[in-house]
Amino acid sequence: MRGRYGDDGLNRFIMVTMYILIFLSLFFRDNTLLYWVILVGFMVHNFRFFSRNISQRRKENNFFLKVVRPLRSRWVVLKKNINDRNHKVFICPQCNGKVRIPKGHGKVAITCPYCRHEFTKRS
Ligand SMILES: [Zn+2]
């Protein structure tokens, strides 16, 4: 493994996606396109895993993380809103900072503590 790139966030994402597709292929047995997608996915994963061009693999991973980060942040906020009965978390539309306010006060004007941007939401 010396000099090889190894694992990263993008490779883990590819692997999890491939396992989901393998599971789905149990229900769509005659779908050759699905098998090809799985095969190409594993080839891409292995190519990236054993690649010696580390800087290019890092660039790909950074681009992937940049695309996924806002989605992951929204997922975290959704989970917090489901678990916390007394507070509601909003994402500031200007700086993407998380703002937590008490629930049940109707429509409120929220001032972001990070950038001072003001927005209105239902608590
Ligand atoms: Zn803000």
**Domain spans, the chain:** 1-83, 85-123
- Ligand 1 geometric centre to CA of 123 (Å): 17
Residues of the chain with pLDDT below 50 are none
- Ligand 1 geometric centre to CA of 121 (Å): 14
Give the C-alpha separation, 19 to 29, whole Å.
15
Give the C-alpha separation, 98 to 78, whole Å.
11
Give the C-alpha separation, 98 to 74, whole Å.
10
- Ligand 1 geometric centre to CA of 91 (Å): 8
Model pLDDT, residue 1:
80
The pLDDT tens digits for 68-100 are: 988 888 999 999 999 999 999 999 999 989 999
Model pLDDT, residue 73:
87
- Ligand 1 geometric centre to CA of 119 (Å): 9
- Ligand 1 geometric centre to CA of 12 (Å): 31
Model pLDDT, residue 41:
96
Give the C-alpha separation, 1 to 58, whole Å.
17
Model pLDDT, residue 21:
94
- Ligand 1 geometric centre to CA of 101 (Å): 14
Give the C-alpha separation, 48 to 7, whole Å.
8
- Coil, strand, or helix at residue 22? helix
Give the C-alpha separation, 103 to 123, whole Å.
5
Has this prediction a pTM greater than 0.75? Answer: no
What are the strands, taking DSSP E only, across 49-106?
Answer: 87-91, 98-102
